[in-house]
Amino acid sequence: MADVVWTAQARRDLEAVEDYYLDVAPSYATVVVDGLLASTRRLADFPLSGRAVPEIDDPEIREVVWRDYRVIYWADADRVEVLSVLHTSRQFGAGS
């Protein structure tokens, strides 16, 4: 079983998503955050189950897509590091 660790950047991204929904649809904020967290739970047992990030040529950089969000992570057999959470309209590594 792999350890799943959220980096500081990924936690900030998740907080930013939550803050956005707290402003525009407060009752939906918890649904989104809980959904994003739940989307990564399988990674402990199946760390390579997400697809490779299309714009990155590295098989260890993968993503899980949940609704309109991409959860980007690095993985090997023993460890998963969640790197970022971003809207599907954005490219990973692109500026704001």
Q: What is the pLDDT of residue 96?
A: 46
List the one residue out of 77, 51, 74, 54 whose CA is nearest residue 64: 51
Q: What is the pLDDT of residue 87?
A: 94
Report the distance separating Cα 69 and Cα 75, nearest Å: 19
pTM: 0.89
Report the distance separating Cα 52 and Cα 4, nearest Å: 17
Q: What is the pLDDT of residue 95?
A: 55
Q: Which domains does the chain have, with CATH numbers?
A: 3-87 (3.30.2310.20)
Q: In the chain, which residues have pLDDT < 50?
A: 96
Q: What is the pLDDT of residue 92?
A: 78
Q: What is the pLDDT of residue 43?
A: 95
Report the distance separating Cα 91 and Cα 27, nearest Å: 28
